[in-house]
Amino acid sequence: MNDRPIDLRLWRQFLAVAQELHFGRAARALHMTQPPLTQGIAQLESLLGVPLFERTKRQVRLSVAGAALLPKVRDLLARAHDLPPLARAAAGGEAGRLRLAFVSTVGYTLLPRWVRGFRASFPDVLLDLSEATGDVQADAFERGDIDAGFVLHAPGFAPPGRSSLRVSSEPLALALPARHPLALQAAPPRLHDALACPLVIFPRRIAPSLHDAIFGLYHGAGAVPVVAQQANQMQTIVNLVSAGLGVAWVPESVRQFQRSGVIYRDVRGRGPVGVGTRCETSLVWRGDNDNPALARFVAYVQAHPDEPDPMEAG
């Protein structure tokens, strides 16, 4: 007896005999003669060190060991049968694993739609999702820990050095504490008044181009931003606004995050389009990543742009 791997051919012969309980019929089912089948079963029993069948002149029955092995052998051979199509599916991006990072803003509307649709189209691709800010994603790319990521940036400033696909462009809205005078007035706040309020914003390392664009909005209007507090996550920024620490410029999609104590407002008198007034989200990935599932996902997102979700239509 030894524990070296056993040829699948012997397991197929065992299964045939176990199903037929007759060596002659099993041999015919396997398109072979009976003597080599008998020899194969004897070899298998020798390798295992236990009898698999109880034989008499009139019948063949499974032994206790044979009966215990039968369901496992069926499963083994079924999985072996599935390996070639699985290999072909993985090579074509229809199976495998895709590690995907995302900033919180894309998680409100776009990402759930794409994940649901992609999984329906490619159920054998395992999606590993992780929420991460732009700087964390950059480190993860360098370590090879993610295949792609959704990042937030100023218009036209997707992270350099990577392939990218812009997936959305949206205006920035002003998040105000609900009791703030600018939130209580009927008319939209004026830019001059908004820029005079203490600011809650993400650190520059999170999204450098968008941080610079927001500061550029202040400088272009002759104002100096007074940063009251910094926070990494957009939900935390909105929560800090709710606590009255200041106001925040947030992507329009953040309005989906209905936090009590926060009012979202458009602002009058803003600068040229794209200068501190809008932001973009892009899907980015390393150009040398040869994961076929990544190519499938990029193609899927490209074919299903930012559009109304039929499941959310009234």
Q: How confident is the prediction along the chain (314 residues), in pLDDT tens digits per residue?
A: 556 778 899 999 999 999 999 999 999 999 999 999 999 999 999 999 999 999 888 899 999 999 999 999 999 888 888 767 767 766 666 678 999 999 999 988 889 999 999 999 999 999 999 999 999 999 999 999 999 999 999 999 988 889 999 999 999 999 999 999 999 999 999 999 999 999 999 999 999 999 999 999 999 999 999 999 999 999 999 999 999 999 999 999 998 888 899 999 999 876 654 446 899 999 999 999 989 999 999 999 999 986 544 444 33
The model's pTM is 0.71
CATH 1.10.10.10 boundaries in the chain = 8-91
Structure tokens belonging to residue 214: 């927001």
pLDDT for 314: 35
For residue 100, which of 125, 129, 122, 120 has the smallest C-alpha distance? 129
Structure tokens belonging to residue 7: 């040829």
pLDDT for 93: 67
Structure tokens belonging to residue 133: 């800010």
Separation between Cα atoms, residue 195 and residue 276, nearest integer Å: 12
Tell me the CATH class for 8-91.
mainly alpha
Beta carbons of 131 and 232 less than 8 angstroms apart:
no
pLDDT for 312: 41
Separation between Cα atoms, residue 175 and residue 247, nearest integer Å: 6
Beta carbons of 83 and 278 less than 8 angstroms apart:
no
Tell me the CATH class for 97-166+282-312.
alpha beta
Where are the extended beta strands (E) located within the chain?
53-55, 60-62, 95-102, 124-131, 148-153, 163-177, 199-201, 227-230, 248-251, 262-265, 278-285
Q: Using alpha carbons, list the distances in angstroms from residue 38 to 32, 33, 45, 60, 61.
A: 11, 9, 11, 12, 14
> Would you tell me how many other CB atoms lie within 10 Å of the CB of residue 273?
9
Place of tokens 């194969």: 40
Q: Residue 210 burial (CB < 10 Å; 0-12/13-18/19+)? A: buried
Query: How far, rounded to the nearest angstrom, does the alpha carbon of residue 45 sit from its chain's CA centroid?
Result: 47
**Angle, alpha carbons 175-178-184 (nearest 5°):** 100
For residue 110, which of 291, 314, 302 has the smallest C-alpha distance? 302
CATH 3.40.190.10 boundaries in the chain = 97-166+282-312, 168-278
Separation between Cα atoms, residue 148 and residue 302, nearest integer Å: 14
Separation between Cα atoms, residue 156 and residue 101, nearest integer Å: 21
Tell me the CATH class for 168-278.
alpha beta
Sequence-ordered alpha helix ranges (H) in 54-206:
64-91, 110-121, 134-143, 181-184, 191-195
